[in-house]
C-alpha cells in the first residue's frame, strides 16, 4: 500500500469544486435573470476571442503583407516619377525583413494576436494605421458614427413599417391585397441587394433627381441645419434600398406570427367574452409577436451592418464598412482587425441584447437549460 503523503483523500480534493458548483447553482436559482445575462456576456467574450484569433489566422494565410504593399507603392511611385522602372532606391530583402520584425509580422499569428490583445485590453491602444500612420481609434471614430446612424435609421423604419403592415395584412389574410403584398415582400426579399443598389444609383445618375453619393460634400460643423437636410436628401436612396431588402422578411414573420396567434384557443375564449376585435388584435395577439421579432431583430441588425459594406462602397458613404474594405485591400492589419472586431462586437452586442430582452419579456427563458 502506498501512503498518501499529502494527507488528502480524493473526495477532499474535489470538495472545492463541489462547493463551487453548489454556489453557482444557488446563485442561478436566487438570481435567474442576472445569471442569464452573465452567461450571455461571457459567451459573447469567448466568441469574440475565438473570432479574433481566427481573423489573425486568415490574415496570415493571405498572400503578401503590408511590407509588400509598401514595396509595390514605392515601385509605382518611382515608375510614374521617372517615366520608367528605377530600382535604385527599392528596399532590399534585409530592409524588408527588418521592417517585418519591427512591425511584429515575423512572429506566428497567435503571438501577434496576444500582443494585439494586450495592447488593446490593457493599454487601450488600437495602434496606428500602417499605411496612413494615423491612430486607428481616430479613423474609426470618424466613421463608426456614420454607420451607426445609417443602420439605426434603417432598423427603426423597417421595425415600424413591418409591424404596421404585418398586423394589417394579417387581418386581410386571403384577400387580393394580402396576396399582392406577400408577392412584393417575397420579391424584394429575394432580390439581390447589390443589384438593387446599382439600379438605384443608375436611376439617380440618369434622372438627376437624387445624388449618386450618399453623403454631403461639406461637414456638419459648417452648417448643421443645412447638413441635416442635405444628409436626408443624399441618404434617401441607400435607405430605400435597405428598407426594401429588410422589410419583406420581417413583415412576413410578423404576419405569420399574428395569424398563428389568432388561431390559438385563448383568442377564441376572448372573442366568446365579447371583447372587441381591435382589443383582441392589439392587446393580446400583438404582444405575443414580440418574442420572435426580438430574436429576428438581432439577425436583422447584423445583416444591416454586413450589407452596409456594399452600400457604402457603391454610394461612397464614409462609414466603417468602406474603411474596412480599404484596409483589407491595402492589407493594413491593425485597421482591418480593429474594424472587423468592432463590427463583430456590435453584432454580438445586438444578439446579446435581444437575448436579454427575451428573458425580460418571457421569464420562462431564464430558467431554461441555457440559463
Which pLDDT score, from 0 to 100, does residue 369 have?
47
CA angle 31, 33, 38 (to 5 degrees): 95
Q: What mean pLDDT, rounded, does the chain reach?
A: 77
Distances (CA, A) of 179 to 174, 182, 213: 7, 5, 36
pLDDT per residue over 297-324, tens digit each? 766 666 777 777 888 888 888 888 888 8
CB neighbours of residue 65 within 10 Å: 20
Tell me the CB-side half-sphere exposure of residue 81, using CA atoms within 13 A: 9
Of 169, 301, 296, 168, give the one whose Cα is nearest residue 242. 301
At 16, is the pLDDT very low, low, confident or very high (cuts 50, 70, 90)?
low
Task: Read off φ and ψ for residue 274, nearest 5 degrees.
Answer: 85, 15
pLDDT at 86 over 80: no
Q: Three cell numbers at 325?
A: 474594405
Which pLDDT score, from 0 to 100, does residue 173 have?
81
Q: Per mean pLDDT, which range of 204-213, 272-281, 334-343 is the poorest?
A: 272-281
Q: Three cell numbers at 292?
A: 420572435
* Greatest pairwise CA separation for the chain in angstroms: 94
Which pLDDT score, from 0 to 100, does residue 104 have?
64
Report d(CA 175, CA 194) in Å as an integer.
32
Give bridge partners of residue 128 from the DSSP assignment. 135
* 136 within 8 A of 338, measured Cβ to Cβ: yes
pLDDT per residue over 105-134, tens digit each? 667 778 888 888 888 888 888 877 777 778
Highest mean pLDDT among 28-37, 86-95, 164-173, 224-233: 224-233
Report d(CA 277, CA 32) in Å as an integer.
37
Report d(CA 47, CA 24) in Å as an integer.
22
At 370, is the pLDDT very low, low, confident or very high (cuts 50, 70, 90)?
very low
Q: Tell me what the mean pLDDT of segment 24-36 comes to.
A: 74
Report d(CA 76, CA 290) in Å as an integer.
57
Of 3, 111, 109, give the one whose Cα is nearest residue 56. 109
Q: Which residue has the cell 413591418?
A: 162
At 206, is the pLDDT very low, low, confident or very high (cuts 50, 70, 90)?
very high
pLDDT at 85 over 60: no
At 282, is the pLDDT very low, low, confident or very high (cuts 50, 70, 90)?
confident
* 175 within 8 A of 313, measured Cβ to Cβ: no
Per-domain residue ranges of the chain: 143-362
Nearest-Å Rg of the Cα atoms of the chain is: 28
pLDDT per residue over 143-180, tens digit each? 888 888 888 888 888 888 888 888 888 878 888 888 88
Q: Is the dihedral of CA 150, 153, 159, 162 positive or negative?
A: negative
Direct distance between the N- and C-terminal alpha carbons of the chain, in angstroms, rounded to an integer: 46
Which pLDDT score, from 0 to 100, does residue 10 have?
52
pLDDT per residue over 57-75, tens digit each? 887 776 666 666 666 666 6
pTM for the whole structure = 0.70
Highest mean pLDDT among 95-99, 205-209, 264-268: 205-209
Q: Per mean pLDDT, which range of 63-67, 120-124, 201-205, 353-357 is the poorest?
A: 63-67
Length of the chain, in residues: 371
Q: Name the percent of the chain lying above pLDDT 70.
A: 76
Domain 143-362 has CATH 1.10.3720.10: yes
CA angle 119, 122, 126 (to 5 degrees): 35
Which pLDDT score, from 0 to 100, does residue 366 have?
55
Amino acid at each position: 500500500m502506498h501512503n498518501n503523503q499529502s494527507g488528502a483523500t480524493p473526495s477532499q480534493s474535489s470538495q472545492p469544486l463541489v462547493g463551487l458548483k453548489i454556489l453557482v447553482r444557488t446563485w442561478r436559482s436566487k438570481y435567474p435573470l442576472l445569471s442569464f445575462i452573465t452567461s450571455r456576456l461571457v459567451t459573447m467574450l469567448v466568441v469574440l476571442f475565438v473570432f479574433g484569433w481566427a481573423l489573425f489566422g486568415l490574415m496570415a494565410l493571405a498572400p503578401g503583407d503590408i511590407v509588400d504593399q509598401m514595396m509595390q507603392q514605392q515601385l509605382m511611385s518611382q515608375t510614374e516619377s521617372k517615366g520608367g522602372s528605377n530600382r535604385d532606391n527599392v528596399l532590399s530583402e534585409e530592409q524588408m525583413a527588418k521592417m517585418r520584425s519591427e512591425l511584429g509580422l515575423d512572429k506566428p499569428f497567435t503571438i501577434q494576436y496576444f500582443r494585439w490583445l494586450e495592447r488593446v485590453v490593457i493599454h487601450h491602444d488600437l495602434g496606428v494605421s500602417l499605411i496612413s500612420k494615423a491612430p486607428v481609434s481616430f479613423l474609426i471614430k470618424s466613421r463608426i458614427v456614420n454607420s451607426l446612424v445609417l443602420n439605426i435609421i434603417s432598423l427603426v423604419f423597417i421595425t415600424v413599417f413591418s409591424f404596421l403592415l404585418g398586423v394589417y395584412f394579417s387581418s386581410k389574410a386571403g384577400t387580393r391585397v394580402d396576396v399582392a403584398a406577400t408577392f412584393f415582400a417575397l420579391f424584394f426579399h429575394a432580390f439581390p441587394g447589390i443589384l438593387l443598389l446599382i439600379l438605384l444609383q443608375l436611376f439617380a445618375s440618369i434622372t438627376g433627381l437624387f445624388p449618386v453619393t450618399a453623403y454631403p460634400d461639406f461637414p456638419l460643423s459648417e452648417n448643421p441645419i443645412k447638413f441635416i437636410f442635405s444628409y436626408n436628401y443624399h441618404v434617401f436612396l441607400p435607405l430605400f434600398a435597405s428598407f426594401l431588402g429588410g422589410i419583406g422578411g420581417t413583415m412576413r414573420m410578423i404576419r405569420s406570427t399574428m395569424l398563428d396567434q389568432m388561431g390559438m384557443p385563448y383568442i377564441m375564449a376572448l372573442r366568446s367574452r365579447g371583447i372587441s376585435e381591435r382589443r383582441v388584435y392589439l392587446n393580446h395577439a400583438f404582444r405575443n409577436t414580440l418574442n420572435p421579432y426580438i430574436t429576428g431583430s438581432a439577425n436583422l441588425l447584423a445583416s444591416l451592418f454586413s450589407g452596409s459594406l456594399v452600400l457604402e462602397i457603391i454610394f461612397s458613404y464614409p462609414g466603417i464598412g468602406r474603411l474596412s474594405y480599404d484596409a483589407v485591400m491595402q492589407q493594413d492589419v491593425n485597421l482591418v482587425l480593429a474594424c472587423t472586431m468592432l463590427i463583430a462586437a456590435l453584432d454580438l452586442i445586438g444578439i446579446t441584447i435581444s437575448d436579454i430582452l427575451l428573458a425580460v419579456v418571457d421569464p420562462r427563458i431564464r430558467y431554461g437549460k441555457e440559463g
